[in-house]
Structure 1
Amino acid sequence: MEQKQIAAGIIIHNGKILLAQRKKGKDLEFKWELPGGKLEKGETLPECLCRELIEELNLKITVKELFMKSEHGYAFGSFVLNTFIAECENPLITKTDAHEQYAWVEPMHLLDYDLAPADIPIVQAYIKSL
């Protein structure tokens, strides 16, 4: 079975990174994550990330570069997580039904959040790269 491709973003605004908290009742409920979603047929990974952020947060971003590619498995499935560096000019999130809450976080404080296991090595690598 082919692994799902996921696009996620280290979304930067004024030096802070966007985290989103997963909703109650979903897999990994209340865990914090780098926002993103599943690749749909016919789109590139950067297009996927832009689409997901518009759909879930109404947030327009500019994808800069692929930061890291990693594989991860949970009881509910495995996937390839393609994490991109992206920027946004306007940090105002006007669509809030996809997650419990959001936070713009200083990089040094990212690991203070209860992150989804797949995001921990990505966040660690990002902090180390600074």
Structure 2
Amino acid sequence: MPQLHVAVGVILRKQQVLLALRSSKQHQGGKWEFPGGKIEPGETVAAALKRELQEELAITVTQAEPFMLLQHTYPERQVTLDIWLVTAFSGTPAGLEGQPLQWVNIADLADIQFPDANQPIVTKLQQDIGLLV
């Protein structure tokens, strides 16, 4: 079974988080996700996170910290999500790969359709909401 190690950015702005819509051609397509991407061989998670967010969103991460580590098994692949809170960045987020973006209130995340692997992130964000701002 294929295994993917992914750097994920939970990009915070006050009580909001930035989400990107997965392309319908992608695994779990048509669902909203926390932006990020695959970690290349020999690359640190922090370096992968900065690279992916620059490539996908045109932002430069200036402050980030580890948030949680998740493993999830889908029928066709296993993913390890290395999730970081991005608390400061420069630039204005834009969907450089054509993906729609939206800022969503953390309190409203339960109303959004996420890939199954993202559900624990939503739960932890909502539990920690008072601590994050």
TM beyond 0.5: yes
The answer to whether the 8 A contact 2:2-2:76 is kept is no
| TM-score, length of structure 1 as denominator length | 0.88
Aligned partner of 1:45 in structure 2 is 45
Query: 2: CA distance between counterparts of 1:112 and 1:75?
Result: 25
The answer to whether the 8 A contact 1:59-1:88 is kept is no
Aligned partner of 2:18 in structure 1 is 18
Aligned partner of 2:108 in structure 1 is 109
The answer to whether the 8 A contact 2:23-2:29 is kept is yes
Aligned partner of 1:4 in structure 2 is 4
Q: How does 1:1-130 map to 2 (within 5 A)?
A: 3-90=3-90, 92-99=92-99, 101-130=100-129
Query: 2: CA distance between counterparts of 1:26 and 1:93?
Result: 21
Larger mean CA deviation between 18-27 and 56-65 belongs to: 56-65
| TM-score, length of structure 2 as denominator length | 0.86
The answer to whether the 8 A contact 2:55-2:96 is kept is no
The answer to whether the 8 A contact 1:18-1:102 is kept is yes
- Equivalent residue letter for 1:29: G
- Equivalent residue letter for 1:46: A
Q: Name stretches of at least 5 consecutive residues in structure 1 with no aligned partner.
A: none
RMSD of aligned alpha carbons: 1.9
Query: 2: CA distance between counterparts of 1:125 and 1:34?
Result: 14
Using the aligned pairs only, state the percent identity: 33
